[in-house]
Amino acid sequence: MTSAPVPKYRRVLLKLSGESLAGGEGFGISLPAIDRLTEEVREVHEAGVALGLVVGGGNIVRGAVAAEGGMERVSADYMGMLATVINALAIQDMLEKKGVENRVLTAIRMEQLAEPYIRRRALRHLEKGRVVLFAGGTGNPYFSTDTAAVLRAIEMEAELIIKATKVDGVHSADPLHDPTAELIPEISYLEVMTRELKVMDITAISLCKDNRLPVVVLNIQRRGAVLAAALGDRVGTLISGEVES
Ligand code: UDP
């Protein structure tokens, strides 16, 4: 009998973009897409990894885009933060159906539907084996859910942050538009910043750098990729302080 592999990372923060919940439509919520995403979450949870989740809201509202259209930026950003709560509730529902115990914690209080984010409480949920969904971003306008993900990962003392994307990792150029783009298996925080590679915004990546939090960027469409990253297998791109030459 072979025993299950021991995960390299005991506590991981997974960042899902709002877009990944939209399925093919690029907008709104696709239940089949959430069904698939939550399968990945269930696998990682079952492997014994303590898992926090930050979900974006770009499938519903992006503050900067709404502001370009004429809305006041701060109101638009609050709409974006509320969008992340809608997404978190959809994920929560699907996780519950799969028997994965979880809690939604919001950065903006809305206690009729979720607990407020309190760091010690979140840690306790993780210790009890619950998946914690951090909703509402940082609770502040002008920030992104990538920054929220890094912030919560640091607060939860996560050992790794997994950024789920539509492509296989960090590339030398945009692989969706440039056929010469090459996958970079390992890269330093500094290089991501200086080469202005569009992985995370600068606030998020510099927060990773300051706190030496490794990031794996992977393709969420590849079945089992999230579990593989949590186990410590080579998948996607690893962003860290040290790069093997
Ligand atoms: N947002 C914000 N503060 C935060 C996190 C998010 O104001 O701490 C707003 C911002 O308007 C953003 C929107 O919520 O555009 C949705 O988040 P994001 O764009 O990061 O989602 P994703 O691209 O991951 O789907």
Digit-coded pLDDT (tens) for 170-228: 999 888 899 999 999 999 999 999 998 989 999 999 999 999 999 999 999 999 999 99
Summarize pLDDT for 148-162 with one digit per residue, the tens: 999 999 999 999 999
Q: pLDDT category, 39, cuts 50, 70, 90?
A: very high
pLDDT score recorded for residue 4: 80
Predicted TM-score of the model (pTM): 0.96
pLDDT score recorded for residue 143: 98
pLDDT score recorded for residue 81: 98
pLDDT score recorded for residue 198: 86
Number of CB atoms found within 10 A of residue 132's CB? 25
Summarize pLDDT for 44-64 with one digit per residue, the tens: 999 999 999 999 999 999 999
The beta strand positions in the chain, using DSSP E, are 11-16, 50-55, 102-106, 115-116, 131-135, 160-165, 186-188, 215-219, 237-240
Tell me how far apart the alpha carbons of residues 37 and 59 are, in angstroms, rounded to a whole number. 15
Measured in Å, residue 191 CA sits from the centre of ligand 1 at 24
Tell me how far apart the alpha carbons of residues 169 and 154 are, in angstroms, rounded to a whole number. 22
| Residue 141 contacts residue 153 (beta carbons within 8 Å) | no
Q: Match 């999230």 to its residue by tokens.
A: 226
Structure tokens that stand for 117 in this block: 């984010």
Residue nearest to atom 21 of ligand 1 (CA): 56
Task: List the Cα angle 50/144/146 in 5-degree steps.
Answer: 35
Q: Side-chain half-sphere of 137: how many Cα atoms within 13 Å?
A: 26
Q: pLDDT category, 23, cuts 50, 70, 90?
A: confident
- Ligand 1 atom at minimum distance from 146 CA: 20
* Coil, strand or helix at 100: coil
| Substitution site in 144, 163, 203 for ligand 1 pocket (most atoms within 8 Å of beta carbon) | 144
Which amino acids bring their CB within 6 angstroms of ligand 1?
17-19, 56-58, 62-64, 76-77, 80-81, 83-84, 137-138, 140-141, 143-146, 148
pLDDT score recorded for residue 176: 86
Q: pLDDT category, 1, cuts 50, 70, 90?
A: low
Measured in Å, residue 97 CA sits from the centre of ligand 1 at 27
| Substitution site in 37, 81, 161 for ligand 1 pocket (most atoms within 8 Å of beta carbon) | 81
Instruction: Say if residue 244's pLDDT is above 70.
Output: no
Tell me how far apart the alpha carbons of residues 85 and 161 are, in angstroms, rounded to a whole number. 20
Instruction: Say if residue 245's pLDDT is above 60.
Output: no
Instruction: Say if residue 112's pLDDT is above 60.
Output: yes
Percent helix, strand, coil in the chain, to 5, is 40, 20, 40
Measured in Å, residue 111 CA sits from the centre of ligand 1 at 21
Measured in Å, residue 57 CA sits from the centre of ligand 1 at 6
**pLDDT (mean) for 108-115:** 97
